Amino acid sequence: MALFGTDGVRGLANGETLTAGLALTLAQATAVVLGQGRIAEARKATGKRLTAVVARDPRISGHFLSAAVEAGLASSGVDVLDAGTLPTPAAAFLISDIDADFGVMISASHNPAPDNGIKIFARGGVKLPDEVEQRIEAAMAGPMLQPTAGDVGRVRRFADAEDRYVLHLLASLPHRLDGIHVVLDCANGAASGASPEAFRSAGAKVTVIGADPDGVNINDGVGSTHLDKLAAEVVRVGADVGIAHDGDADRCLAVDAEGNVVDGDQIMAILAVAMKSRGKLADDTLVATVMSNLGLHIAMREHGITVRQTSVGDRYVLEDMNANGFSLGGEQSGHVIMSAFATTGDGVLTGLHLVAEMARQKKSLAELASIMTVYPQVMINVKGVDKDAVSDHAGVQDAVKAVETELGDSGRVLLRKSGTEPLVRVMVEAADAETANAHAANLADVVRKHLAL
């Protein structure tokens, strides 16, 4: 079984896989693989050691995992800058900002506190391609670098890491946030310091919840996967908008003044139209996944914006953006990538730019979000089926075509196999929930009938 998943190495901290020993060995193998190349060799030729940035979210297990990673890197001759607790996008930014050779983020994002993960970024703060991850995994079984005496790496505190990141965020803004009351839900996570500081420095009045991390309460009933508390607080204090991050703050979801959820598709729609109006939307194109709502496609078409679709996962959105020079992309879940300012999804950056549009246009979030109609979307997971046959089975495909014909331009059907389980995900969008539910249930029955194991 492959060690790397869709977003680094993740699992139960101190469980069967994600141990201090694995973290140390993984860091050593990373130094072997990422210590190669023209720039790395040129640095070593001048007597300079490689440099890596290491950061973590507030999970208590992050202490021993980051210590193990730093030990593995330093023992391999890599100088380490320990940035402490910071959002994942902050770590990615800092790698680029100081021209580090690579970096490591210790986080399990929106997962519960017992889990943790190790994400590795290459030079420039970009995620590793699959091929490089495979080389690192293979290198874990090989010889490691073992410098001695003065050639071992040093571990130093990255004292101004958060300040650099916040200044970068503020410099990106097209408009200040003066006059807007924002409630921030930091998920008791990595943005508990940086996000409130950035919003206040940008001029907003800020109320904060979910910003008291104790190592075990990350994502616990707060953050972008639990929006009820944020919605209630926005209404209670009479705020204009609520912004929610996940544990490592690479996501942003929002609620309007009445507590209604504004998801990643709606946020992308608002930003895409605003960027186009300022000439900042490259090729007038937005990159989204196949799970983005039909309403996004319709709204973007009405505004002369092309929507490119990728497989589910922000890494695939990033790959398409990087390969084609696009400036905006993301997912319904709130991973929004603004490539002019970030190499990965950045929830704090996204939230700031969303609120900046409210201030610039002098409109409420509800008014801005009305740019698109969210079509009811129903998802059914059909278990115990031959998922690999779903795209070829004539009976299943005939049923899909029949539903697509009936829905016409007012709906959409998507059947896709799970990447990790023997199941097929049946998704139907329609103009009303009753129609979407009926068609999804019917297609789920068809999949069970024809593909049962």
358/405 Cα distance (integer angstroms) = 39
pLDDT of 47: 76
**pLDDT tens digits, one per residue of 87-145:** 999 999 999 999 999 999 999 999 999 999 999 999 999 999 889 999 999 999 999 99
**Is the distance from CB of 448 to CB of 385 less than 8 angstroms?**
yes
The amino acid present at 354, given as its one-letter code, is L
296/114 Cα distance (integer angstroms) = 36
Q: Over 90: is that where the pLDDT of 418 sits?
A: no
Please list, in sequence order, all residues whose beta carbon lies within 8 angstroms of the beta carbon of residue 222, skipping any fewer than 6 positions away. Answer: 185, 186, 187, 188, 209, 210, 229, 230
167 or 110, higher pLDDT: 167
Query: Across residues 171-198, what is the average pLDDT?
Result: 98
**Is the distance from CB of 189 to CB of 247 less than 8 angstroms?**
yes
397/387 Cα distance (integer angstroms) = 13
**pLDDT tens digits, one per residue of 304-358:** 999 999 988 888 999 999 999 999 999 999 999 999 999 999 999 999 999 999 9
Q: Over 70: is that where the pLDDT of 151 sits?
A: yes
Per the listing, tokens 């208590």 go with 60
pLDDT band at residue 409 using 50, 70 and 90 as cut-offs: confident
Task: Report the share of the chain in percent with pLDDT over 70.
Answer: 99
β-bridge pairing 377-383 and 155-157: unpaired
Q: In Å, how far from its chain's centre is CA 257?
A: 25
- Domains plus CATH for the chain? 9-159 (3.40.120.10), 164-369 (3.40.120.10), 377-451 (3.30.310.50)
**pLDDT tens digits, one per residue of 329-338:** 999 999 999 9
Per the listing, tokens 């940008």 go with 202
Cα angle for residues 353, 355, 357 (degrees, 5° grid) = 70
Kindly report the backbone phi and psi dihedral angles of residue 284, in degrees, each rounded to the nearest multiple of 5, phi listed first: 45, 45
pLDDT band at residue 420 using 50, 70 and 90 as cut-offs: low
**What DSSP character marks residue 111?**
S
pLDDT band at residue 363 using 50, 70 and 90 as cut-offs: very high
Establish whether 370 is a catalytic residue: no
Closest Cα to residue 441, out of 421, 422, 413, 419? 413
pLDDT band at residue 379 using 50, 70 and 90 as cut-offs: very high
Catalytic hit among 75, 76, 96, 109: 109
Query: Across residues 359-368, what is the average pLDDT?
Result: 98
**Is the distance from CB of 28 to CB of 74 less than 8 angstroms?**
no
pLDDT of 241: 98
Specify the pTM: 0.92
Which residues on neighbouring strands pair with residue 412, listed in sequence order? 429
Q: Over 90: is that where the pLDDT of 5 sits?
A: no
359 or 43, higher pLDDT: 359
**pLDDT tens digits, one per residue of 10-69:** 999 999 999 999 999 999 999 999 988 766 777 777 778 999 999 999 999 999 999 999
For 132, the 3-state DSSP assignment is: helix
pLDDT of 227: 97
**What DSSP character marks residue 129?**
P
